[in-house]
Amino acid sequence: MEDEECPALVPIAAGGSEGPDPGRRIPVTIITGYLGAGKTTLLNYILTEQHSKKIAVILNEFGEGSALEKSLAISQGGELYEEWLELRNGCLCCSVKDNGVKAIENLMKRRGKFDYILLETTGLADPGAVASMFWVDSELGSDIYLDGIISVVDAKHGLQHLTEEKPEGLVNEASRQVALADLIIINKTDLVSGEELNKVRTSVRSVNGFAKILETQRSRVDLSNVLDLHAFDSLSGISLQKKLEHVKTTQAHLDKGIMTVTFEVLGDIKEENLNLFIQNLLWEKNVKDKTGHAMDVIRLKGLVSIQGKSHQVIVQGVHELYDLEETAVEWKEDEKRTNRLVLIGKNKLCISLCKFKELFLSAGGPGTCPVKSNQPKLARVTAVRGCSV
């Protein structure tokens, strides 16, 4: 269900006034996990579950497509919000671009309105770096405390992520995320056999020997296992420092080999063409970048305009799996229908705008792009970010 959408938004001023104690330090739970593992699904689940808390949620922005992500994350009636929004159940929601610390600072101006913060990091983030900030930033530290780090692991692809080899003995980010976690949620168990699940569990265990491991579908967990872990309290005996030492932190690029590109194509697409295009991209892997290499997409997210459909459709892809889901957002009559796609993948993702549009709209139909043209028709394809074409 509308994975990236917060439920029932109401203006922030409409929130109840009898809030939590503003003087108390607020717990923050960091939710980490590889691209597409189910972090946002977990957040949405927590937000909609019955609980007595007023929770503020900070969603990560996916890739570079800020406009896309905002509309995926918190759009209501097609409008984009940058502000914090209060949900009917008293929870707050916001989408951020960086590691979220800035968002937390801004959020603290609204203290008294919430009593818990959930922070989703980007799929490639080093949770250690994010967690450290709460320690370095003493001002922040007096307002909030880190309650725990949760790592969501994709049961289907987790093994592949965990065993991915990095140059020069670097730890891959999936292992780093698992290593630092207090709680590991192996999600998407519906997609694997018992045997496969055992393998992932063993692999996760070998990386992190002390975290609690839960297995879920659609990130559905008992909230008492997730919130108020007090994993970093001095009482718990395991200090953050120890955890951070557990994995050697590497500086600079997490993974030079992974990149993000964003495409915006005006117009409608036939549903069958959209399916064909995605299948070519994710299954057949015969969509080539400008150097002739097949594009290797790990994560795909988008909002598309399908012919004959009055509502915007969300596209979600994780490796070779994808799904299309109609959103509650209707295209307005005077609105230019646009398809926005964000691709995250390995290295070779640069493709000319013209070529992309051609492949996308006609699913590889007759070529109309002049060979070696570097001048795409911008009237139809409006943006590509992440590489210079």
Ligand X SMILES: Nc1nc2c(ncn2[C@@H]2O[C@H](COP(=O)(O)OP(=O)(O)OP(=O)(O)O)[C@@H](O)[C@H]2O)c(=O)[nH]1
Q: Contact positions toward ligand X, by CB under 6 A? A: 3, 33, 35-41, 60, 62, 123, 152, 187-188, 190-191, 217-219, 299, 316, 318, 323
Residue closer to Zn ion (CB basis): 40 or 352:
40
Could you tell which of Zn ion, ligand X, none binds residue 104, using a CB distance below 5 to 8 A set by kind? none
Residue closer to ligand X (CB basis): 216 or 352:
216
Closest contact distance (angstroms) between CB of 216 and ligand X is: 6
Length of the chain in terms of residues written: 389
Could you tell which of Zn ion, ligand X, none binds residue 191, using a CB distance below 5 to 8 A set by kind? ligand X
Closest contact distance (angstroms) between CB of 123 and Zn ion is: 7
- What span, in angstroms and rounded, lies between the C-alpha atoms of 156 and 187? 9
Could you tell which of ligand X, Zn ion, none binds residue 35, using a CB distance below 5 to 8 A set by kind? ligand X
- What span, in angstroms and rounded, lies between the C-alpha atoms of 118 and 149? 10
Both structure tokens of 81: 């919000």
Residue closer to ligand X (CB basis): 18 or 222:
222
Closest contact distance (angstroms) between CB of 205 and Zn ion is: 25
Closest contact distance (angstroms) between CB of 202 and Zn ion is: 26
Q: Helices 353-362 and 271-279, interaxial angle, to 10°?
A: 120
Residue closer to Zn ion (CB basis): 299 or 355:
299
Residue 71 interacts with Zn ion (CB under 5 A): yes or no: no
Within 36-65, which residues bind Zn ion (CB under 5 A)? 39-40
Closest contact distance (angstroms) between CB of 189 and ligand X is: 7
Could you tell which of Zn ion, ligand X, none binds residue 285, using a CB distance below 5 to 8 A set by kind? none
Residue closer to ligand X (CB basis): 83 or 190:
190
Closest contact distance (angstroms) between CB of 317 and Zn ion is: 13
Could you tell which of Zn ion, ligand X, none binds residue 187, using a CB distance below 5 to 8 A set by kind? ligand X
Q: Interface mask (CB under 5 A) for Zn ion, residues 20-39, using x and -? A: -------------------x
Could you tell which of Zn ion, ligand X, none binds residue 327, using a CB distance below 5 to 8 A set by kind? none
